[in-house]
Structure 1
Amino acid sequence: MARSKKSTSKGKANEKNENQHISSQDSCMLLQLPGEIRNLIYSHLFTSTRLTFGKRSISRISTKRIKPTPNSLAVLRTCSLIKQEAGALWLGQVLFNFECVEDMLDKLSVLPSTTLSQIRHIRVSGRPLMLTPIGDDDDIHYRLVWALKLLPGLCLDTLSVLGLSRGEIAYDTLEGLVKYGNGWKELHFITPNSSMLGFKKLDMFMADPYWRKPQPSTWNDILIQRDGVDSGASITIYRSTRFDTPGTVVKPATRQLFEQKPPSPEDLETFGVEEERQLLGINERGKELLVVVKRGHHAHTSEQDSPPYPLEQDIRQWANGLTWAEIRRQCIDFSQESDDDPDFIEEDEDVQVDRYNDVDEYAWNPVN
């Protein structure tokens, strides 16, 4: 049976579009390069890309919702061949940057495990996650390590954490990650000042006194117990050489190695009882700290995804299989109904595009 004129015209149009598509690929300078060179270009682009999500505090009373720079991944929409080539690379090379723990859980907890396991670089605030456990009337501040356990399948190369200015909270957050953290091979923990290694002993109500120990030797001992003496696991501390200058501790030219010498056994009981004047004096307190934690070569870093969970602090102990979305609905007191939807944006909400010159640059939260 002969085709109709309409069918013939449609077939010619499709053929024309296909020929134009092939012609456009043939004329693309990028596609004229060898595949190895194209992959290097893709990698340079993606490692220079940051995708930021969440609400950023501008002052103590105002916030702005931050969204990624428009067309951050526009290369994936140029043509099918480039999408095919670069589509397998970007998840493992871009930096996913979250303003707070809740933002991270909102975005990542809904991803399929196959997608989540491809993400390799995350940066997040070290601010605790406040929840009211089901059946409890009290709010509990959960450290970052317990929030990360709600993302089984996470398999990062680097986890970067912007710690709080309050030394005791930053110290406890980092120690939890050293003791119980999984899902990452290398941790970069940054604080805006030196208080984390200089605060004095805290006498807490109805709790054991809490105070710091010599670092990084104490944390190194903990990590070696987890990963093994010959595993290559290590913890290194850097301290900025400049005070009140954000971003200097991540630059080799403006930082130096820092180590607190372990005292004699008889003096260990008094270590950390008082403030460390060397760290908290004039022009000293404002110097940033960077702690680099490297897990052992063959460390088992994947997260346990089934009960029994070993510690009472683990959110999963009382969540009983609830998803993060269900935990959020039941355990966080919302002020507005729209907060149930993390992607909902009110018409008058202040939205700001994330601008940066370098993916690793950061600014400290004014309420930090």
Structure 2
Amino acid sequence: MQQHNGLLQLPRELRDEIFALVFNSTRLTFGFRYTSRHGERFMKPAPHSLALLRVCRQIHNETHDIWIKRVLFNFEDPQTMLNRLSELPDSTVAKIRHLRLSGFLMMRYLKGFDDLMYRHDSVFQLLPALRLDCLTILAVPPAAPEYDAITNLINRGNGWKELRYITRSSRMLGFSPSRSHGSRDTGDICRQPQPKAWNETIMKRDSEGSGAFVQIYRSKEEDDCASVLCPHRWEVFKQNYEEDKIKEFGLSDDKEMTRGAGARKGLLVLVKRGSNADITQRTGFSKERDMKARFNKRTWRHRKKIIMWTPLDQDKEDEDDVGNGWARPLIRPPPQVVDNYYDVDEM
């Protein structure tokens, strides 16, 4: 059978280029996706997504170690990401290079605590083996936690060399101080001129001259956040301010960013770490913001049995003082749907 396989008649260098093109255009999607038309559905990849690995033994041998470095792992929610990746050996997780995650923040019931929302920088601490070339996060409203999430990722996020943080509107860079999504760590969430403040932060982490930077792109079009991934459909954005009025910056709404047509333009915050940056995960901030510390450094695999999409059972004793449900209970499993896409960056 292999004698009649035209692909195997090509030089190995050409076959490798073909393999790269195929896997670079492959997306493996998992998780709960909600749309107003269909409600909540559990997305899964098409069964033929990795069919190339099953063509024959030789092609399997040539591709079994490269596909995972090229396909896009697309997770619709943090819980599914942790459930899937925590079952894999660290040596396998370390080979993943491209990952996309929906920006829904994780909420977790804890006995004696108000609902806690764990930001992405804390969630990724539970996957210490990740060494991503590119992490893409599709953020969701409201604006204050979006801003807090990207700020935390720039301050202390690890596990990635490049971060693409995409928002559906411009409100993240125009809201007035918000207490509603702050914490004992952050207090009120107040804006600073961007990307200037974020650039100063990443320079302190990775040093000047390292190649680290933060750049913001704003869509020219309304109601199409995917346009920020197309160079001819976005424009470079930065916030201007007067030096003598810097203390007043961010104390009131920027109406051009939060109202009308301007608010409906998407943003892309592109963050690149320095060439020699150490991207290994670290612990060290407070338990309120550090999932790993809050749960006594146990792995997600060990605690997954108590972190489920089930209603809270107030009458059941929990031996480790952790609630047994999510803030948004799921009454019945949603239908499963195969992810259908033309381009891996589709949203």
Pairwise same-fold verdict (TM > 0.5): yes
Match of 1:300 in 2: 278
Structure 1 residues 27 and 336, CA gap change in structure 2 (3 angstroms): farther
Query: SS of the residue aligned with 2:22?
Result: helix
1:309 aligns with 2:252: no
Q: Report the Cα distance in structure 2 between the residues aligned to 1:61 and 1:271, rounded to whole angstroms.
A: 42
Alignment of 1:1-368 (within 5 A): 24-59=1-36, 62-133=39-110, 136-204=112-180, 208-264=187-243, 266-304=244-282, 309-312=284-287, 313-331=289-307, 334-335=310-311, 349-362=334-347
* CA positional deviation for 1:62: 2.8
Query: SS of the residue aligned with 1:178?
Result: helix
Q: Report the Cα distance in structure 2 between the residues aligned to 1:106 and 1:188, rounded to whole angstroms.
A: 23
Does the 8 Å contact 2:30/2:45 carry over to 1? yes
Q: Report the Cα distance in structure 2 between the residues aligned to 1:123 and 1:131, rounded to whole angstroms.
A: 22
Provide Cα deviations, 1:151-191, integer angstroms capped at 9, x if missing partner.
Answer: 01100000000011211111001001000100000000000
Does the 8 Å contact 1:132/1:331 carry over to 2? no
Structure 1 residues 200 and 85, CA gap change in structure 2 (3 angstroms): same
* CA positional deviation for 1:224: 0.5
* CA positional deviation for 1:34: 0.3
- Bigger mean CA deviation after superposition, 119-128 or 315-324: 315-324
Does the 8 Å contact 1:170/1:196 carry over to 2? yes
Q: Report the Cα distance in structure 1 between the residues aligned to 2:132 and 2:25, rounded to whole angstroms.
A: 17
* CA positional deviation for 1:321: 3.1
Match of 1:6 in 2: none
Q: Report the Cα distance in structure 1 between the residues aligned to 2:9 and 2:86, rounded to whole angstroms.
A: 40
Q: TM-score, normalised by structure 1?
A: 0.84
Structure 1 residues 203 and 156, CA gap change in structure 2 (3 angstroms): closer
Higher strand fraction: Structure 1 or Structure 2?
Answer: 2
Q: Report the Cα distance in structure 1 between the residues aligned to 2:13 and 2:74, rounded to whole angstroms.
A: 29
* CA positional deviation for 1:37: 0.3
Root-mean-square deviation (CA, aligned residues, Å) is: 2.4
Total equivalences in the alignment: 329
Match of 1:19 in 2: none
- Bigger mean CA deviation after superposition, 61-70 or 83-92: 61-70
Does the 8 Å contact 2:175/2:250 carry over to 1? yes
Identity of aligned residues (%): 38
**What amino acid does structure 1 have at the position aligned with 2:239?**
Q
Match of 1:14 in 2: none
* CA positional deviation for 1:230: 1.3
* CA positional deviation for 1:282: 2.0
Structure 1 residues 249 and 121, CA gap change in structure 2 (3 angstroms): same
Q: Report the Cα distance in structure 1 between the residues aligned to 2:6 and 2:308, rounded to whole angstroms.
A: 52
**What amino acid does structure 1 have at the position aligned with 2:340?**
R
Q: Report the Cα distance in structure 1 between the residues aligned to 2:126 and 2:60, rounded to whole angstroms.
A: 31
Query: SS of the residue aligned with 2:280?
Result: coil
Q: Report the Cα distance in structure 1 between the residues aligned to 2:121 and 2:213, rounded to whole angstroms.
A: 19
Q: Report the Cα distance in structure 2 between the residues aligned to 1:329 and 1:61, rounded to whole angstroms.
A: 29
* CA positional deviation for 1:263: 2.8
Structure 1 residues 224 and 297, CA gap change in structure 2 (3 angstroms): same
Query: SS of the residue aligned with 1:138?
Result: coil
Structure 1 residues 61 and 326, CA gap change in structure 2 (3 angstroms): farther
Match of 1:15 in 2: none
Q: Which has the larger radius of gyration?
A: 1
**What amino acid does structure 2 have at the position aligned with 1:121?**
H
Provide Cα deviations, 1:218-276, integer angstroms capped at 9, x if missing partner.
Answer: 00000000000111100000000011124111111110000012431x31111111111
Structure 1 residues 206 and 49, CA gap change in structure 2 (3 angstroms): closer
Match of 2:318 in 1: none
Does the 8 Å contact 1:187/1:293 carry over to 2? yes
* CA positional deviation for 1:278: 2.3
Q: Report the Cα distance in structure 2 between the residues aligned to 1:228 and 1:206, rounded to whole angstroms.
A: 29
Listed as ranges, the gaps of 5+ residues in structure 1 are 1-23, 341-345, 363-368
